[in-house]
Structure formats: C-alpha cells, structure tokens
Chains A and B, each alone.
Chain A
Amino acid sequence: MAPPRGEVLQGTLDLIVLKTIEALGPLHGYGIAQRIQQVSEDLLHLNQGTLYPALLRLEQRGWISSKWGSSENNRKAKYYALTRTGRKQLLAETESWERMTALMTRLLGGAEGA
C-alpha cells in the first residue's frame, strides 16, 4: 500500500517555494513543482497550478523577483529568483518553523511518554 499523501499545510507553501528557489537558484514554475515533488518523494500532493498564486504573492511582497528567460530546451519560461529581503525572510521563517516543530515534537513526545 502506498504511503498516505499529505496535503500542503496551510502557510507552508510559501516557505517551501522560497527554500526551493534558494536551493536551486533562479528557477521556473515547472522546475519548482518538479523539485518539490522530487524532494518530498511524492509524499506531498501538490496541484501544480496552486504554485502560481503563491509565486505572485511572494513577488508582491518583494521576496522574489521574476524575469522571462528560456529553458534548457529553448522554451520560453519565467524565472524566479530570491531577492535580498526574500533571503532574510527565508531565514526568519525557517527559524520560526524550527522552533515550532521543536515545540510540537516536545509536546507530542511528552504526551507519548506519559
């Protein structure tokens, strides 16, 4: 039986996208979608289309910037890159995410222990 596929947690998509762009450098929407699915080893179910509103949101906040370019196969595509504020934001959000997960782990672990 296949492992259960998780939905993207509310609010985490932004962080995932930022991290992906940081890891791979300027990237188009398709690339981001592929990368997320690859890393999550298909555990995460992602409607690829939902990426675009997220990308727009991040761009409106000034965390990423976009530019038209051509892909490896000479296909026209829009490339997204991390901005300086975006890098700072990623750092801050990663930190807060880690604090949160640590807390959750401790809480859940503690419950198990009792």
Chain B
Amino acid sequence: MKWLRTFTSRLIGFFRKQQIERDLDSEVQSHLDMLIAENIWRGMTPEAARHAAKREFGGVELTKEEYREQRGLPLLDGWLQDVRFAVRMLGKRPGLTFASVLTLAIGMGANTAIFTAVHSVLLHSLPFPKADRLAIVWSVLGTEGRAPASGPELETLRQRSRLFEDLGAIWAQSGALTGEGEPEQVRLGMVTANFLGILGTNPQLGRLFEKVEQGSGAPRVMIISDGLWHRRFGADRRWIGQTVRLNGQSVTIIGVMPPGFRIIFPEGSSVPPEMDAYVPFRSNLASSPADQSYLRVIGRLRDGVTIAQAQQEMDTLAGQIRAEYNTFADPPLTLQVVSLQGDVVRNIRPALLALFGGAGLVLLIACVNVANLLLARANERTLEMALRTALGAGRGRLIRQLLTESVLVSCCGAVAALSFGWFALRLVLAMQPKEMERFSAIQMNPPVFAFTFAVAIVAGVPFGLAPAFGTRKLDLTRSLKDSRQTGTKNGRRQGNLLVISEVALGFVLLIGAGLMLRTFVRLLQVNPGFDATHVLTFRVSVASAKYHTDDAAVQFFRKLKENLSQLPGVEAAGVISHLPFDDTLPNWYGFYWREGASKHEQNTAMADFRSSLPGYFKSMGVTFVSGRDFDDHDVAENLHLAVIDDTVAQEAWPRQEALGKLINIENGNFVRDTAQVIGVVKHLQYHTLTNQVRAQIYLLYPQAIRAHMAVTLKSSANAQMLLPLIRQQVAALDKDLPIYHVQPMTDYVESARRQTRFVTLLAGIMGGIALLLACTGIYAVTMYSVLQRMREIGVRTALGAAPRQLFALVLRQSMLPIALGLLAGLVLSLLLTPLLSSLLFGVRPTDIPTFGVGALILSTAGLIACLLPARRATRVDPMIALRYE
C-alpha cells in the first residue's frame, strides 16, 4: 500500500504544481536566509555571507529540479509535454491534420455503426433475465427440421424433463377487440400459463397467469401489452380486473406487460415480436390430438445444464414419444434443442459478420492512407528529428513523440467517427432487415464508445510506428548537412508498399460488394410465381361467436369478395388464408399423399395447406399448368376439391396427369380428407425468394375453414382511393369487423429482399469508400514521389527527355504497384469470398465477371489517380527544379 500513498501524494503534487512551487521557493529562501544570517553573525560581510550560503546549500536550481521530479508524475508531465507539442505540430499543418482525421473518421465511423449493430444483436444477450438459459425445442419430422410441437408432446416433455426448469409454448393468433370504440384486430399470443414466467419478465401491473387459468372451463383472462394499454385503454390502471370483449367473449384483463417487452423468437417461427395481448390455451393440451402440431416450445434450462446435455435428454424423450404415439413413429420424430439467442440470430449473423469484416477492411485502408500522410510528413521532418537527436533525445523519446502525435490524430478521428457513426447507424437502422427489427434497442452505448476509442488507439500505434521505422536509418551528419529533400529509395519503397496494400484491400471490398450486387440483381430477377404489381392486400378475421357456424364465415367471405370485385378499377379479387412472405400468422402445413399410397409412402412429403375462394389465382396472376380454378358452383356445392402446385403434381404423380386424381390432405380442423385435383398451378415462392421451403396445396374455403383470411385485390385504382370503399363494404356486411394489415403485395416481396438489399447497400457503400480512399492514397503517394524527384526529373528534362517519356515513366512506375496490389487482392479475395457463400444467391464466390469488373474499375481508378501527378512531371521546368531550395 505504500506505493499507493506515494502515488496519491504525487498525484496531488501533479495538480497543485504552482502552490507547491511557491512553497518550495519560500522554503529554500528561508533556509538560505538562515545560513546568511549565521554567516554574518560569524563576521562575514553580507556579500561574502551570501556566496558562502549558496556554496553550502549546493545548486539551488539543481535541488529544485530534483525536487520537482520527485514531486509530480514525471511520466505524465513528459507526456503532457508531448501532447502539447503534438497539438502544435498538427496545428502547423491543418490541411494534413484535417485530411488524416477525416479519413480516420470515415474508417472508424463505419466500424462504429456496424459494431453497434453487432453488439446489440450478436453480443448483447436478449432482454430477458438470464436469457442464456432459454432454449427452443423444435420438432424434426421427415424433411421438416423446425416444426412446432403438439399438445401431448409438450405435456410429455414438461412432465419428464429433469434438465429444464420448465417448458411452455406460444401460438400466434389474432383476435377482435370489440365493445367500446372502433373494433380492433389485435395480435394475440395463445400461451401456456407458464409461458411469460419462463421468459422471466414480470408485468408492470397486475400479475401473470396462474396454472388454473389454462385449459377448458378456466376463467377467461388476458394480459395486455403496454402498447395496447395506452392505445385502447388510456393507460388507466382501473382496467385491471375489468372485462372486455375479445372475439365476442368477455375476458378479464389481469395484467399489463412492461413497455418494450417483446417476444423474441426466430424468423420463420410464425411468432411475431409485437403481441398486443396474451391469453392462455383453453383446450386440454395433454388430451388434444397428437397430430395437431402448432406449439412453439421454449424452455428454461436449469443452472449449469448445457445445450448438449439438454439435447441428450430430449433424444431420450423423443424415443419415448415415438414408442407411445403412433403418429410420431413414421416419419420418426426427433427433437432439437437450440439456444434462443443463437437461433434468433442465425440468419443475420453471417450478414453482420461479413459487414463487420468489410468495415474492418475500410478502416485498414483508412489507416494505410493516414500512415502515408504521416510518413510523408516524417520525411519532411527528418531535419527536425536529426536536430532533436543531436540535442540528446533518445530513439525511444522520438518514437514516443511520433506515437503521441498519431494517437492524438486517431483519437480526434474517433470523436469525429462517433458523430459520423451516429449518422451511419441511422442509415443501417433505416434499412435493417426483419431479423434485426426483433432487437428493440440498437443504439450507441458505453461499450460502443469504448470500442471506438480502443480501435483509435490500436489503429494509431501502427501508423505512428511506420514513420518511426521510416526514420530508423537516420544518418545524423548526413541529414543535418544535406537538408535538401530528395526522394530516397527507401521512401519510394514504402510508398509502393502502401499502394499495394491499399489496392489489395480495396479489391477485396469491391469484390465483396460486387458479389452482393450480383446476388441482389438475381433476386430482382427471381420470378416468385405471382405478379405483385397493383395487388392490394388486407386481412379480416372472423373469430367472433357470430361466425361459429362454418356457413356464416363462408357466406361472409363470399359476399365480401363479390362486393369488392364490383368496386371501380378492381380486375380480380381473391380470398386466401396465407399471403406469400407473411410470417405473422401460423403457417398450416402437413403431410399429403396420393389416394391409395401404401402406408410407408404416406408420411413422406409435406405441403402448405392454403384455403381459398375462387379468384385468388387470377388476382395474383398465377399461371395454370393445367386444369382450372375453383368456381362459385364448387363453393355452393361444398365440393371436396384441390388445386395443387407443379411440385406436388410431380411428387405425387411423376410423369402422369394429375387432374382428376384424388389426394389425401388435412383440412382446416386438422382432419384428414380426400380431395379431387381440379387444377395444377406453377409453384409460388411462399417463404423465401431463394429456396423452395414447401410445396402448396390449395383447398376450397368451405372445406378448410379458417378464422383469419387475407383478401387480394388486383386493381389499377389507387390504394388510397380504394381503402375507404373497402372499409365501407366490410362495414356493410359486419360493422364489428376490423380490417388490418393493409399492404400492397409488393411490400411483402420487398421484405423478402430486405436482408440482401441491406447487405448489398452497405457493402456497396463500403466498396465506394474503399475505392475513394484507395484513389486518394494512390494519388498522394504518386504526387509525393513526383515532388520528391523534381531534381531528377529536371535533370532528365535538361538531358532531353520528352514530356511524353516522362509522363510514361511516372505512369509506368506507379502502375506497377497497382498491378501487384491487384494480384495480392485477387489472392486475398479468393481466400475470403467463400466466407460470403451463405449470403450469395445465383452467383459463385469466385464469379469471374465480378472479379474482372472489379479489377477493371480499380485499375482505371488507379490510372486516373496517377494522371495528375504524371502531368505534373511533364511541367517541371529544369531551371527551377535544379535550383529548387
């Protein structure tokens, strides 16, 4: 602890410098006075007494200096001195300083913005208490790797698992809030009573569900979101315990979740993050049919249990379930445990990491540029360095000075980078893909600031050291004698090295951006199987008691469709249970087989079961391969009919006509049924643009009743104009039914392209910045070398070199490092681009056109960057050049 005391005292000394200085002065003076007084008393003259006193005391200034060194923090003192000096030096060349700071701000700003996203999405844990304990359990059935579970499955897992504290499930639904005010369709999370407790977030008001509130006959209760509470209930606490009407039933509000609470489930799990309300399941899960799978299962692992251990336990339990339930024997059920955090980011992680890597490359290029600027300046300062060495500054002292300057520059860069990064982050957030929207808080916070400054310091050291090593072979006498600045071979080699690395790094970025661009273009070219232009969509739900009979629901949608087709400008109207690229409602899918298939052929292929009314295919511009759409007669007669896509036709009746054949399907109530194929359509990309997740089978609505339906309207009329008319038509049929999710179909298609668009745009921006930085770098290096070689060029001109020859000489010498850089970049790209393959579509990581165009762009840009310096070389006046200095 002694050192601490000494340090504290020194620290105080450091800050109270002036007062201590005064103290020391008067203390020394009083000592001297006493000595003089004594000497006079001994009989000396005052003059002699003073001299004697000084002799006895020893060097006054020496003592003070020794005292000072011990008093404060000499290291800090020296460093502050360095900083003051550095500020003066940088202030002397404001243009150069500004260029360095700006370059670094761009490089680090890009990093700051991307790191903010990486930090919030990949590094930061999800906003649930002990979020690392949360795991999702997916059912694996045949080709279906991420299927939901059925009631008996969940109950079996809950009862027998020892490694999970608890397991629960959610099923996203939709419900109509009626009664006071406008009817409103709300997103409803049907949950097990323990679900919210497993996530670990407590309501801000009221309480969570209790066990008895789940199951048939339980009291109807509801927990609402903070958003709904504010929007519909005026944030009034008295609503707790009150009843509201949900889907025509009285339900008691028992709690309000805190603001910002969201269900963070992986993309594609059909669980949207924003729920308006939660209600417990009203069916008995344990005794519900084993083949009705709709539960998205989440569990909380006990402390210390790993995912691998939980997986082992689930393997055992899956074996037991297979043995106990026929349904899960063929294809055999297996269970997969994944951490919630890992599963949620699995799609976005490669994209973010690739962008992070790209931002790192941009920063490297920026650093090389700044190193180049500082290096050039270091050469100018050779004389200064030599002088300081001559005056006794050690090598370490000089390096410390250079480092201080470079770190100072990079810290200024960091401050600028934070503001630059703030804007860049706005851009990132404006374009963020759906996967990132699940994370509510993507913002700059202390870890981000720390990251930026750490980058600044780490970046500042190497480019500060580069000039330090550039001045390594400092020949004192030569430098002092020969103060003229001549282009040294050493300096040119360094310049070339910088150009090579800039071009190589820039090439990698350009290739990355190019590959993403090619992917994006491919995505734009993908034909999703339908024509989204001029298609307006919205949703209507008939979940209330009024539509308890199937007939009521059928009549409602039939009339609605009919009335809507009469609206001006409407060419076709359709009703469908699920829109392409819509992940807000559960997806209905299951096994299908041709009638008469043997037992072991039955559970092999799965398809989405869509429920529709006549007109959907026409409104979406879907191509019929053969056969026809449903018609009103089919609806009226309630026939068991199906339209299948070409994938199903191919799978069930290879090389045969599918029309007229019977197919075994699952209707709207999870009941198996047989339908006759009346039409075959082209496959629609329903899930992603890039791969076919499942085929589709379309059933006639009366045969497959669903509460939540979407309406598609193909119309040349403006949506703004159409909307009031639509509302009018819906209200005319039922004034209590809200319409919601009003969106042009193109928005859904757009959302499917969002992640690629996001990565492409950011990669493009980075590629552009890299190109710009590389060009500035090449220009600076070439121009500098021309200026350094003025005398040599002057001599050449004097000896008769034609301007054209000089022009060619400069170009030749500058294009060589660019060519070498391209070569290095090529090798580097071939090593790095395979890492991008998961982000690419329709283009190989080693796409030759991309590489060719990248090389062309970079070499052209490099050439342009060299033109100006080369022209400068041809304008050297030998008389001036030789007399230069």
Instruction: Please give, as numbers and ranges, the residues of chain A lying within 8 Å of B633 by CB-CB distance.
Output: none
B5 touches A56 (CB 8 A): no
A50 touches B58 (CB 8 A): yes
Contact size class for B?
Answer: 20 to 34
C-beta contact mask, B4-25 vs A, less than 8 Å → 1, else 0? Answer: 0110011000000000000110
In the assembled complex, A78 has its CB within 8 A of some CB on chain B: yes
Query: Nearest chain-B residue to A32 (Cβ)?
Result: B31
B63 touches A49 (CB 8 A): yes
- Taken together as a complex, chains A and B put the C-alpha atoms of A30 and B71 apart, in Å, by 20
In the assembled complex, A73 has its CB within 8 A of some CB on chain B: yes
B70 touches A57 (CB 8 A): yes
In the assembled complex, B734 has its CB within 8 A of some CB on chain A: no
In the assembled complex, B27 has its CB within 8 A of some CB on chain A: yes
B34 touches A30 (CB 8 A): yes
In the assembled complex, B655 has its CB within 8 A of some CB on chain A: no
In the assembled complex, B743 has its CB within 8 A of some CB on chain A: no
Query: Nearest chain-A residue to B27 (Cβ)?
Result: A78
Instruction: Please give, as numbers and ranges, the residues of chain B lying within 8 Å of A29 by CB-CB distance.
Output: 27, 31
In the assembled complex, A10 has its CB within 8 A of some CB on chain B: no
B58 touches A56 (CB 8 A): no
In the assembled complex, A62 has its CB within 8 A of some CB on chain B: yes
A53 touches B63 (CB 8 A): yes
In the assembled complex, A77 has its CB within 8 A of some CB on chain B: yes
In the assembled complex, A76 has its CB within 8 A of some CB on chain B: yes
Instruction: Please give, as numbers and ranges, the residues of chain A lying within 8 Å of B67 by CB-CB distance.
Output: 52-53, 56
Instruction: Please give, as numbers and ranges, the residues of chain B lying within 8 Å of A71 by CB-CB distance.
Output: 30, 34
Q: Is the interface of A mostly helix, strand, loop or mixed?
A: helix
C-beta contact mask, A15-40 vs B, less than 8 Å → 1, else 0? Answer: 00000000000001110010000000
- Taken together as a complex, chains A and B put the C-alpha atoms of A29 and B31 apart, in Å, by 7
C-beta contact mask, A51-81 vs B, less than 8 Å → 1, else 0? Answer: 0110011011110000000010101111000
B27 touches A60 (CB 8 A): no
B57 touches A48 (CB 8 A): yes
- Taken together as a complex, chains A and B put the C-alpha atoms of A77 and B60 apart, in Å, by 17
A47 touches B9 (CB 8 A): no
Query: Nearest chain-A residue to B35 (Cβ)?
Result: A30
In the assembled complex, B144 has its CB within 8 A of some CB on chain A: no
Instruction: Please give, as numbers and ranges, the residues of chain A lying within 8 Å of B27 by CB-CB distance.
Output: 29, 52, 77-78
Instruction: Please give, as numbers and ranges, the residues of chain B lying within 8 Å of A47 by CB-CB distance.
Output: 57-59, 63
Instruction: Please give, as numbers and ranges, the residues of chain B lying within 8 Å of A59 by CB-CB distance.
Output: 9
Instruction: Please give, as numbers and ranges, the residues of chain A lying within 8 Å of B24 by CB-CB distance.
Output: 52
- Taken together as a complex, chains A and B put the C-alpha atoms of A56 and B9 apart, in Å, by 10
In the assembled complex, B2 has its CB within 8 A of some CB on chain A: yes
- Taken together as a complex, chains A and B put the C-alpha atoms of A35 and B438 apart, in Å, by 80
* Nearest Cβ on chain A to B714's Cβ, whole angstroms: 87
- Taken together as a complex, chains A and B put the C-alpha atoms of A28 and B62 apart, in Å, by 20
Query: Nearest chain-B residue to A31 (Cβ)?
Result: B34
Instruction: Please give, as numbers and ranges, the residues of chain B lying within 8 Å of A62 by CB-CB distance.
Output: 5
- Taken together as a complex, chains A and B put the C-alpha atoms of A78 and B30 apart, in Å, by 9
Query: Nearest chain-A residue to B26 (Cβ)?
Result: A76
Q: Which of B2, B30, B71 meets A77, CB within 8 Å?
A: B30
Query: Nearest chain-A residue to B61 (Cβ)?
Result: A49
Query: Which of A28, A53, A61 has the most B CB atoms < 10 Å from its CB?
Result: A53
- Taken together as a complex, chains A and B put the C-alpha atoms of A56 and B10 apart, in Å, by 10
* Nearest Cβ on chain A to B233's Cβ, whole angstroms: 66
Query: Nearest chain-A residue to B63 (Cβ)?
Result: A49
A56 touches B26 (CB 8 A): no
* Nearest Cβ on chain A to B101's Cβ, whole angstroms: 40
A61 touches B58 (CB 8 A): no
Instruction: Please give, as numbers and ranges, the residues of chain B lying within 8 Å of A56 by CB-CB distance.
Output: 67, 70-71
* Nearest Cβ on chain B to A67's Cβ, whole angstroms: 12
Which 9 A-B residue pairings sit nearest by Cβ, starting from the closest?
A47-B58, A49-B63, A49-B58, A30-B34, A60-B9, A53-B66, A30-B31, A48-B57, A60-B6
Q: A29-B27, A49-B59 are in contact. List 11 more A-B contacts (CB 8 A).
A: A30-B30, A48-B57, A49-B58, A56-B70, A59-B9, A60-B6, A61-B2, A75-B30, A75-B34, A77-B34, A78-B23
By a beta-carbon cutoff of 8 Å, the part of chain B in contact with chain A is: 2, 5-6, 9-10, 23-24, 26-28, 30-31, 33-35, 37, 56-60, 62-63, 66-67, 70-71
Can you list 10 A-B pairs, Cβ within 8 angstroms, ordered by A? A28-B30, A48-B35, A48-B57, A53-B66, A56-B70, A59-B9, A60-B5, A73-B34, A75-B34, A78-B23
